[in-house]
Amino acid sequence: MSSQIHDTSHITYQSLLEGNKQFIADTLKEDPNYFEKLANGQKPPVLWIGCADSRVPANQITNTSPGEIFVHRNIANMVIHSDMNMLSVLDYAVNVLKVKHVIVTGHYGCGGVIAAMSNQQFGLIDNWLRHIKDVYRLHAEELDAIADEQERTNRLVEFNVIENVYNLCKTSIVQNAWKNGQQLGVHGWVYSLSTGLINDMKVSTLNNENMDEVFKFK
């Protein structure tokens, strides 16, 4: 296996602007009305909550196009219930765009999760990563029993996605949508950087029936 990483040395400030012109030319060749149609509005059926990692772009890995997925990304695809940015995106997606699915997508080898597993200080981000350490604590028994470090990291990536799916379900935004009869599925996926495959965590949730009583809103 090659240990080379993707070469980005050809990317410059100027090359991005030139790339934009190329994108326009290529796109118009395919569909002369492309921009006109997209400019008229959006009706994406999916909200994607993913990691900021440059290797996990929502559209490419699901073979979708601009206009088809509403996207929120942060370090380690977290759903923190006091994060106004995430909540604003979620509220708009659920209540205005009326998306049918919200998908939390993590990825194996996530730098945020690896950092959270270490005892090193990284600065401000330690406060963000603390939420992942809390997920570790919930599953410490199973995780501590995994001898292989990479395997342990990948399992925590999965637990983190699952926990963030539950965090989404607990929000008043999602619970109110369900209460109002809105069709809304909340799902958890983990993407493999080494194969390109998405691993469905099979935690899809369509109502608050199985939620701990204390989190349920009437």
Q: How far is CA 176 from CA 18, 169, 183, 184, 207, in A?
A: 46, 10, 11, 11, 10
- Shortest gap between Cβ of 92 and Zn ion (angstroms)? 24
- Shortest gap between Cβ of 120 and Zn ion (angstroms)? 17
Nearer to Zn ion, 58 or 110 (CB): 110
Task: Give me the catalytic one of 7, 26, 31, 51.
Answer: 51
Out of 49, 51, 78, 177, the residue judged to bind Zn ion by CB under 5 A: 51
Listed ranges 42-50, 52-60, 86-94, 122-130: which one lies at the site for Zn ion (CB under 5 A): 52-60
Listed ranges 2-10, 41-49, 53-61, 79-87: which one lies at the site for Zn ion (CB under 5 A): 53-61
- Shortest gap between Cβ of 86 and Zn ion (angstroms)? 16
Out of 48, 49, 50, 53, the residue judged to bind Zn ion by CB under 5 A: 53
Nearer to Zn ion, 164 or 175 (CB): 164
DSSP string, 75-128: TT----TT-HHHHHHHHHHHHTS--SEEEEEEETT-HHHHHHHS----STHHHH
Q: Does 163 bind Zn ion (CB under 5 A)?
A: no
Nearer to Zn ion, 135 or 184 (CB): 135
Residue 143 CA to residue 39 CA, distance in Å, equals 48
Tell the residue number behind the tokens 């796109």, with chain if given: 27
Tell the residue number behind the tokens 């691993």, with chain if given: 199
Cα dihedral 53, 68, 159, 131 sign: positive
Task: Give me the catalytic one of 72, 107, 131, 155.
Answer: 107
108: amino acid identity, one letter: Y
SS3 5: coil
Residues in the interface with Zn ion (CB under 5 A) total 4
Task: Give me the catalytic one of 53, 72, 155, 169.
Answer: 53
Give the contact letters, 108-147, x = binds to Zn ion (CB under 5 A), - = no.
--x-x-----------------------------------
Nearer to Zn ion, 53 or 163 (CB): 53
Closest CA to 108 of 73, 61, 157, 51: 157
Does 169 qualify as catalytic in the annotation? no
Closest CA to 77 of 205, 163, 184: 163
How many other C-beta atoms are found inside a 10 Å radius of the C-beta of residue 77?
Answer: 30
**Catalytic site residues?**
51, 53, 55, 107, 110
Contact footprint for Zn ion (CB under 5 A): 51, 53, 110, 112
